[in-house]
Amino acid sequence: MSTNFPKDMEPVIGCNRCAVDLPFKFTFAFQPIVNVASKTMFGYEALVRGCDGSSAWSVLSQVNDDNRYMFDQACRVTAIRLAGKLKLDSVLSINFLPNAVYEPAHCIRSTLLAAKESNFPVENLMFEITESEQVHDADHLTKIFKNYSEQGFITAIDDFGAGHAGLNLLSSFQPRVMKIDMELVRNIHEITVKQIIVDSLLTMCMRLGITPLAEGVETREEVDYFKSKGVDLMQGYFFAKPGFEELPEVDYQSF
């Protein structure tokens, strides 16, 4: 289901910022997010790809100030419609461009319509700050997150520890999910400094009521380490690589 922005969504948006045609097409791959405690599927993250299976960068490198709003809207609609077609019955996690959302309540309308058309439960939509765009206005991002929570969406900070969001955001808004950056995850069982940093993050999550998620998990040792720390949600190649326009299965007997 590759796409430019769907023509039938344009009247819903009704916005000059978004009323342009994208000069490129794209689709999605899906990577599992696993609950290792219950050995169940928490959901899938939608990862943008070229229609020929090329990398996210091949698509994101074509995003600019002229098409940023349209691209952000198209990502949401396309991911939801494809997830509906694939009969995804758990959480769908979608990265979004915070600098492309000028007015949260208005910009979310096409997302809600796509969910309704695809019979996809709004409460199963998770929006996370994309790793490809630095946040320029923390107050605006806080406004977006608060609006999304009011809509019933799950909110998440991606790559926490990589410097895109930071502690300042947490002082004004607490997301439902914090995704611990893969650089902190890699070989954590062997690196004391990483263990100290992650222990602090997990304590903070517990006290703030935030669910931690370890991303980029690649080895059994990393799985075991985070399990020992009470982290239930994990994502990474250990469980499955992203499936191009498909939902990969997970071998629950492997952990």
What is the CATH classification number for the domain harbouring 100?
3.20.20.450
The two tokens of residue 93 are 């996690």
Residue range of the domain that includes 207: 7-249
pLDDT at 2 over 70: no
Beta-bridge partners for 138: none
Cβ atoms of 59 and 24 within 8 Å: the answer is yes
Query: Does residue 123 lie in a domain region?
Result: yes
pLDDT tens for residues 38-67? Answer: 999 999 999 999 999 999 999 999 998 888
Is 115 a domain residue? yes
Given this model, what pLDDT does residue 134 score?
A: 63
Beta carbons of 8 and 30 less than 8 angstroms apart: no
Please report whether residue 166 resides in a domain.
yes
Q: What is the mean pLDDT of residues 156-181?
A: 81
Which among 27, 153, 144 has a CA at the least distance from the CA of 81? 27
Q: What pLDDT was estimated at residue 242?
A: 98
Tell whether 1 is covered by a domain.
Answer: no
Residue of 107, 112, 77 whose CA lies nearest to 17: 107
254 inside domain: no
- Please name the helix (run of DSSP H) or strand (run of DSSP E) that holds residue 25, with its range, or none: none
pLDDT tens for each residue of 81-131:
999 999 999 999 999 877 666 566 666 888 999 999 999 999 999 999 764
Q: Is residue 220 part of a domain?
A: yes
For residue 68, is pLDDT > 80?
Answer: yes
Task: Report the run of H or E that residue 67 belongs to, with start and end.
Answer: none
Is 104 a member of any domain? yes
**How many residues are present in the chain?**
255
Element (H, E) at 83: helix 68-85
